[in-house]
Amino acid sequence: MELKRVVVTGLGAITPIGNTVPDLWDSVVNGVSGGDMITHFDASKFKVQIACEVKGFNVADYMDPKEARKMDLYCQYAIAAAKQAIEDSAIDTEKEDLDRIGVIYGVGIGGIRTFEEEMAYYEKVKENGPKFSPFFIPKMISDISTGHISMMYGFRGPNFVTTSACASSTNAIADAFNYIRLGKADIIVAGGAEAAVSVAGVGGFSSMKALSTRNDSPASASRPFSNSRDGFVIGEGSAALILEEYEHAVARGAKIYAEIAGTGLSADAHHITAPHPEGAGAILAMRHALEDAGMNTGDIDYINTHGTSTPLGDIAELKAIKGLFGDHAYEMNISSTKSMTGHLLGAAGALEALISVLAVKNDIVPPTINHEDGDDDPNIDPRLNLTFNKAQKRTVRAALSNTFGFGGHNSSVIVKKA
């Protein structure tokens, strides 16, 4: 069976550094940080008081506010990004076969804010017997985002959510890619969404000592690959990519940003939270993606790393890159855009795949910001080009994006010039 080609024809984004794709890209290229003090709740007594929150989001721009009240914030973000991407791709629902358009998102946690709010209400009224909102479960569950998107547009193709912690939305892209190239769909809205800047979200990750405690400098707290890094900065938002069968896109005259070349998945089989110290699972995922794409290590010009700014994770990933790419690792650009956006958990993979698409399209490599002179990690090979602090122009024929999640889930996606 001949596999079909899959291209990207639309993009949408709600992020801590821009609520449209042009604004996001402008911030990325110019090294803008989304880190700031938490405003979603009173974090004054928390050890961690910083996050990369979405700013200036107006739900009324995307849906009826009355309907929005029946949705968790993560779902609102998901719908907004999807709406942007669908409009960007100029999909005409009057002309398309809606049975062949699907929606696949990655969501790591889902409606944690709704759960907190509902339990707070229950504690307040429990003396009079249990009482819950009829919208509690539909607001909370992680799969409801794709359900809402399908109902808004009448898309009746494959529709589900993948959950693999921080690898969730790269897994969603992989599934969408495979459904299309196997001929089971023409178009899939693939993406991710998360809104876990909440009491439980921040409190839980903080208790694990996973988060940065640089409360005095939130904008520079996410500093991947720097010696002084002390954990990730939690972020929120959504990103959506329209994946489309190549011939279908050409036939309707769609603009094409890039081509999805291949994906790779693996497991560390090592620890519930810590990465394999030598990056064994990461090597497997990247190797599988290259094999899936029919590409060699020398074909990759840029890697958008998982790069969360944790002491163990950054080292393991760079070991994996050197282990797989050998001397070519010194010829590539490597960066972590989480230095700007923070870590969007289940939405991270979709956002970083979107940024990788734009890097390929525009021949610009985004920077890893917040690196200071004298803050070099002695465990990191100084010959690696980690694109510190300033974007770099170069031809980007193909980019690889990595996402790794708790439980040892690893996923990689390769995008190339179409």
Structure tokens at 376: 């070099």
Q: In sequence order, what are the residues at sequence separation of 6 or more whose Cβ sits closer than 8 angstroms to the Cβ of residue 238? A: 12, 13, 14, 15, 74, 77, 78, 80, 81, 82, 191, 192, 193, 194, 347, 350
3-state secondary structure of 121: helix
Indicate which residue of 166, 187, 280, 357 is catalytic.
Answer: 166
Cα 315 from Cα 224, distance rounded (Å): 10
Structure tokens at 22: 């042009």
Which of 190, 192, 191, 195 is CA-nearest to residue 235? 195
Cα 98 from Cα 225, distance rounded (Å): 45
Distances (CA, A) of 258 to 9, 178, 356, 403: 8, 16, 10, 20
Q: What does the DSSP 8-state code read for residue 214?
A: -
Cα 355 from Cα 360, distance rounded (Å): 9
For 268-368, where are the E strands, in sequence order?
Answer: 302-304, 333-335, 364-365
Q: Is 166 a catalytic residue?
A: yes
Cα 381 from Cα 136, distance rounded (Å): 50
Cα 322 from Cα 315, distance rounded (Å): 11
Cα 167 from Cα 164, distance rounded (Å): 5
Q: Which amino acid is at 381?
A: D
Find out whether 74 and 57 touch, Cβ atoms under 8 Å: no
Cα 129 from Cα 122, distance rounded (Å): 9
Q: In sequence order, what are the residues at sequence separation of 6 or more whose Cβ sits closer than 8 angstroms to the Cβ of residue 415? A: 8, 258, 259, 260, 261, 353, 356, 357, 360, 398, 399, 401
Q: What does the DSSP 8-state code read for residue 399?
A: E
CA dihedral 92, 93, 95, 97 (to 10 degrees): 130
Please report the DSSP string for 140-155 in residue order: H-TTHHHHHHHHHHT-
Active-site positions read: 166
